[in-house]
Structure 1
Amino acid sequence: MTDDSAEGRKMRAATWFRSLRDQITTAFEALEDAGAPGPFADLAPGRFDVSPTSRTADDGSDAGGGIMSVMRGGRVFEKVGVNWSEVHGTLAPRAQKAMAARGVPGMEDDPRFWASGISLVAHMRNPHVPAVHMNTRMFWTPHAWWFGGGSDLNPCLEYAEDTAHFHACMQAACDAHEAGRYDRLKAWADEYFFIPHRGRARGVGGIFYDDLNTGDWEADFAFTQDVGRQFLPGFVPLVEKRRADPWTDADKDAQLIHRGLYAEYNLVYDRGTKFGLETGHDANAVLMSLPPEAKWY
């Protein structure tokens, strides 16, 4: 029998996000096992370094944590992080004020929260293989709950057919639930992943959503699951297609410059980065999205 209590729903969401993390890390290690010809073909297949993370409340009590999984120096992935977390406690005044400004009911008087989710960023060896980001999450307060997330593609060398494939998978997740949802969430991603000081997007987009609460928890959770399920079909075929493409020094230079753009966005604008640091989560886990190497003009 399904437990529809708040605690039961929290457990279901957290368990799902963790299972998605397990599926993705297994798939990525399989890509490493398959390897790729080129200068890194003789490297041992990359493996995730898995470590627990923790969050401590202001009073010193346990406030949850998670699992940080980072692979560095692989044959296919230069650096990839797949993190899962389940945290709780009381929001710091700055985060509380930001939530209240977003219209979260009761936040002015009761800053307790619970959150769980998965966050992924992959930076690739081959400049022809796009970097990618994905996250899904559930957030709860005593007065409200919502889901958020999405995924976006960040190639330094763009291929129209790769972009079309990735977006088709994101659209499939949306179309299964509501006509027109994909168009709205694509436009939201285009707006959210825009870098004002550069006057450009950080990649070729995808979908993004936040504060999803239609009043039907099961429907919103099902949509969030479908977004997560579409990630591997949207990304893995691109890796398999491009990982053996030869590249030049100019291609690698373009990749490093694009990574600088990615780093700028994540440090200056990304809402998840700000929330993680402001709520006292493990800084290494929050900042795992940063590339191993980057370059600026």
Structure 2
Amino acid sequence: MTEDDFDERKVRAARWFHALRDEIVAAFEDLERTHDTGPFSEDPPAAFEVTKTSRRSDDGSDAGGGLMSVLRDGRVFEKVGVNVSEVYGTLGERAQAAMAARKGIPGMKDDPSFWASGISLVAHMRNPQVPAVHMNTRMFWTPHAWWFGGGADLNPALPYEEDTAHFHRTLQEYLDRHGAEHYPRLKTWADEYFFIPHRNRARGVGGIFMDDQCSGDWNADFELTRDIGRAFLPAFLPLVEARRTQDFDSADRETQLIHRGLYAEYNLVYDRGTKFGLETGHDANAVLMSLPPLARWP
């Protein structure tokens, strides 16, 4: 595949991530506007604040950036961020070592240039009955290799079996379009990845995850990645609709805040995206957007 081919595919991927961002932001703002019954329905609806982010290379030159979109203190969402980015340049020594160890990429020391684009979403809800959620998809390119990654996982403070079943069923429906082998593989990967070793427990009720999808067929892998993104709203919105009007008490709120502590621990200690973003010099506020606005520890 020629360099021009990859330049065109980078454009396609980045445009898709931006389009998915626009769709999700519109859907979440619609939830804010239409929440007129139940807890917090008397509060004013919130809208996303959009900030441009930037990355600078070691010599101070432009190295890409993106959009950080954050909605705070709404009727439905206590804090939700939907970020898109397109960054490029050269990987520093620490990032090179991490990528080489995980991917086994040859030639990284000879030419550590890279390009990456993706969307990252984390939603922390006001009502403890509504589950928190994470989703991201991305494409990564070097002169030596390319791959896609991403997934989605549900993080309820107060789990409901029917919510978990719907979330997983919807993800499987979209993945099955590409072969029956994908959902069990990506579910197992998520179970292993979204695990907190020092707590000996999962951070939520799972989902799907992939970190190095490169079958050799770029178009097939891109379509798989797009369907992970397409599955998100059908998997999550019905859960919000079902739970946002439910009552809760102070004990439920306490449970929610303690569960958020687990989420913060995971993202700060284990999450690869957090580590990569900080090590490559991306906007720290955008990288740490996933952290909850409030959390507690027992």
Residue by residue, what CA displacement relative to the aligned partner does 1:105-124 show, whole Å, maximum 9, x if unpaired? 32132110000000000000
Deviation at 1:182, TM superposition (A): 0.6
Distance 1:284 1:60 in 2: 19
Distance 1:224 1:138 in 2: 9
Distance 2:140 2:174 in 1: 21
Count of residues in Structure 1 that have an aligned counterpart in Structure 2 = 295
Q: 1:129-278 counterparts in 2 under 5 A?
A: 129-278=130-279
SS of the residue 2:192 aligns to: helix
Deviation at 1:36, TM superposition (A): 4.4
Cα RMSD of the aligned pairs, angstroms, is 1.1
Q: Indicate the larger mover: 126-135 or 107-116.
A: 107-116
Distance 1:207 1:263 in 2: 20
Residue by residue, what CA displacement relative to the aligned partner does 1:129-167 show, whole Å, maximum 9, x if unpaired? 000000000000011100000000000100000000000
SS of the residue 2:52 aligns to: strand
Residue by residue, what CA displacement relative to the aligned partner does 1:167-222 show, whole Å, maximum 9, x if unpaired? 01111121110122111110100000000000000000000001100000000000
Quick check: 1:127–1:247 contact (8 Å CA) kept in 2?
Answer: yes
**Is 1:31 matched up with 2:26?**
no
* Amino acid paired to 1:176: R
Q: Indicate the larger mover: 174-183 or 73-82.
A: 174-183
Deviation at 1:38, TM superposition (A): 4.0
Structure 1: segments with no counterpart, 5+ residues:
none
Counterpart of 1:287 in structure 2 is 288
Distance 2:235 2:13 in 1: 22
Quick check: 1:173–1:226 contact (8 Å CA) kept in 2?
Answer: yes
* Amino acid paired to 1:288: M
Deviation at 1:4, TM superposition (A): 7.0
Distance 2:153 2:76 in 1: 19
Identity %: 72
* Amino acid paired to 1:155: P
Distance 2:254 2:292 in 1: 14
Distance 2:209 2:39 in 1: 36
Residue by residue, what CA displacement relative to the aligned partner does 1:45-103 show, whole Å, maximum 9, x if unpaired? 11000010000000110000000000000000000000000000001100001111121
Distance 1:216 1:285 in 2: 31
SS of the residue 2:179 aligns to: coil
SS of the residue 1:149 aligns to: strand
Quick check: 1:79–1:291 contact (8 Å CA) kept in 2?
Answer: yes
Quick check: 2:38–2:244 contact (8 Å CA) kept in 1?
Answer: no
Distance 1:36 1:239 in 2: 13
SS of the residue 1:126 aligns to: coil
Q: 1:3-14 counterparts in 2 under 5 A?
A: 5-14=5-14
Quick check: 1:78–1:292 contact (8 Å CA) kept in 2?
Answer: yes
